Structure 1
């Protein structure tokens, strides 16, 4: 074999997975179609990633957390959910306990580009990882003996195991013949930072207005990342605005809750599509990160699940390698699939159902939405269950 494991995709999940094999005897090759410069100095893309206490633990174990500047790790103290124009909130306060003991926060927020840079810097220190950047994958093929990857430049690589980590629209997953449930919400996500005169109190907010939603991710006390989701047919109404005009639109949506709001950066937009693979493995192949599960951002669980997938699969591979077993055997991959599906499948479908419910604007549903928040607020076991999901 040319290498033990080929990873298609050098994003934050693919690189975190490669980092799991530091100090092992396994040889890892990462294929990334973007140039090396984009891994070394990733551009800011507007996305602020909410990380659970479990994700922080995984990133610390991988050396990634320590590489993020301390002043760019933002505290997420608590969270509130609003429905329509009502001021009533479903409140999730900071937990008294979390993994590792007492805590003063639900979780942390880190910009996606900082996570990507930290993952690359860790992988760059590894002698057993080869990064092949600036080249795409033309074809993949697997059989009981090996996995084969043909690159756009004509090179062919063989390995014991192939890993797809090339986004929720994974071409590798398609070539492996693995079906996926793809839910197109028909909406566009618009993200931008704002400065404001009233403190956000480090509180995240999810505001389910009528026709659009607004999520507020607190960074510094007077700096917030705004995430608007709006139907595709009306997205141009916001994307045609200047950054400052867009900030004023958010101020209007919030009825001035954060005071005077001004733009604090660039505006970015993405299609809103959720994906869950039917299974997370094939013959000598497995899916991790968004190639396995691409979540709706409302629960902020996307990268948390991606990190979990890297840890679950890597542990199984390292255990097999230590015993001299085949790291691409079906039984190992089935075990990974079972463990990761148990958590992701109910969370994926539950999130989609919840989003559909809170974005349906018929009058009877509007009333039911408000009642649901009030009932949930007064059911401690339910709130505790949701809080445990938020904190990991």
Structure 2
């Protein structure tokens, strides 16, 4: 019998296992993942990790492994223009530091993050079962039984579903979602350029959607480029010359010549919110609980907030001698995370609808709004603190850099 079984071995699943096992070493924690062993080593993407999440990684003892590969975001600028505009006026700028002097975010290669988390799992004795997925879920009074694709079963007092926005475990539990498609896809690619970016991130609001340039080490940048689903598919299928010509129109020339390195991929964009985050013997975390538009760069970091809140809930219940998988225990986690997730989902939905168009009255209104924020230092500080995750009054201890 396992105490906790995590389904999914992405950043959220690995972090959930590490957070609980580190704080409560006596608990038996295991992970199952559908991907074969070593598949994670092919992920060449990068992710924005906010300051609060880096504090949690420090508590895990792995930020020192990750930081040499991480690029601090020292500044962020926001523009609003048409693709054809020769000049893109800057409406909003953010300095990159929060109150304790650390950058509000870092760009971290996924490979470095997952390698460090898997190393922590190994040191803590967390067993990872590769190449198996959950095909059945039966929840009882004292434990849940998970049937795996290899025909075996695992019993656990608590199952944590971290298996993505199309979570099969969520479906097995009968948890419904509220969801819709934006008719957009996010093109993800890495480019190298001649001149240094100096740690500056850029968010260009273009008629088709936001175009984000996020700094990486060694004169490289990560792109999250929003287009209609049909146009994104065309661009990804095109050869590098055509793709780079279209990219140059949006990226501009201030960093010199640019070149795509590695794969370019497109991912459909939509909003998905689970109607419940918990069920008997089950908790949802990360994209299994919520999938949002990348316009705010908060998707992964919402997952880290889930991890910190869930781990604190489980560990404190265990110390009190309570059942970690009971619905009464899990309701605390749901109450902690549900409103924040709903608020972020609504915010990203409104921002995407507001900025993914070229209607003159709406464009004027949003540019006036950006200009007002630019001229109010206190408001800018509030927004940067919110983005960094350092000012939330109900932050779990891990996100404040404290042990559970």
Query: What TM-score, normalized to structure 1?
Result: 0.92
2:29 — aligned with what?
Answer: 28
Shift of 1:69: 6.0
Tell me whether 1:180 sits opposite 2:177 in the alignment.
Answer: yes
The counterpart of 1:259, out of the listed 256, 261, 265, is 256
Match of 2:101 in 1: 102
Match of 2:400 in 1: none
Change (3 A) 1:202 1:221: farther
Task: Please say if residues 78 and 106 of structure 1, whose CA atoms lie closer than 8 Å, have aligned partners that are also in contact.
Answer: no
| Aligned positions of 1:242-391 closer than 5 A | 242-391=239-388
Preserved contact between residue 285 and residue 328 of structure 1 (Cα < 8 Å): yes
Distance in 1 between residues matched to 2:377 and 2:56, nearest whole Å: 29
Which residue number corresponds to residue 89 of structure 2?
87
Q: C-alpha displacement at 1:311, in angstroms? A: 1.5
Map 1:9-20; keep pairs closer than 5 Å: 9-20=8-19
Give the whole-Å Cα distance in 1 for the aligned partners of 2:285 and 2:229. 29
Q: Deviations over 1:154-194 (max 9, x none)?
A: 21222111111000111111111222222321111111111
Q: Distance in 2 between matches of 1:315 and 1:347?
A: 22
Give secondary structure in 1 for the equivalent of 2:315.
helix
Q: 1:237 aligns with which of 234, 239, 247?
A: 234
**Pick aligned residue for 2:114 from 116, 119, 144:** 116
The 8 Å contact of residues 74 and 95 in structure 2, kept in 1 or not, is answered as yes
More displaced stretch, 314-323 vs 362-371 = 362-371
- Structure 2 Cα separation of the partners of residues 138 and 154 of structure 1: 9
TM superposition shift of 1:221: 6.3
- Residue in structure 2 matched with residue 166 of structure 1 by the alignment: 163
Q: Distance in 2 between matches of 1:290 and 1:212?
A: 22
Distance between the aligned counterparts of 1:251 and 1:284, measured in 2? Answer: 51
SS of alignment partner, residue 273 of structure 1: strand
Partner Cα distance (1:154, 1:293) in 2: 29
Residues 201, 221 of structure 1: 8 Å contact kept:
no
Per-residue deviation, 1:212: 4.2
Question: How does 1:185-204 map onto structure 2 within 5 Å?
Answer: 185-204=182-201
**How far is the alpha carbon of 1:242 from its aligned partner?**
2.5
- 1:360 positional shift: 2.2
Equivalent in 57, 60, 72 of residue 59 of structure 1: 57
Q: Is the 8 A contact 1:179 1:277 kept in 2?
A: yes
Name the residue aligned to 1:37: 38
For 1:138-177, what aligned pairs fall within 5 Å after superposition? 138-177=135-174
Are the equivalent residues in 1 in contact too, given 2:209–2:355 (CA < 8 A)?
Answer: no
Q: Shift of residue 287 of structure 1?
A: 0.6
Taking a change above 3 Å as real, the CA distance of residues 346 and 3 of structure 1, as seen in their structure-2 partners, is same
Asked whether the equivalents of residues 189 and 230 of structure 1 are also in contact (C-alpha less than 8 Å), the reply is yes
* 2-structure distance, mates of 1:283, 1:385: 38
Query: C-alpha deviations, 1:275-309, integer Å up to 9, x for none?
Result: 22222111111011111122221211122111121
Contact 1:150 1:157 in 2 (8 A): yes
Q: Give a deviation string over 1:41-84, Cα, whole Å, max 9, x none.
A: x21243x21111110010111123233261x1111111111111
CA separation of 1:212 and 1:323: change in aligned 2, threshold 3 A: closer
Cα distance in 1 for partners of 2:260, 2:251 equals 15
Separation of aligned partners in 2, 1:184 and 1:115: 29
- Kept after mapping to 1: 8 A contact 2:132/2:148: yes
Please give the alpha-carbon distance, in whole angstroms, between the structure 2 residues aligned to 1:161 and 1:147.
Answer: 7
Number of residue-to-residue matches in the alignment: 382
- Distance (whole Å) between structure 2 residues aligned to residue 16 and residue 329 of structure 1: 22
Q: Distance in 2 between the 1:116 and 1:187 partners?
A: 28
Structure 2 segments unaligned to the other structure (5+ residues): 390-404
RMSD: 1.8
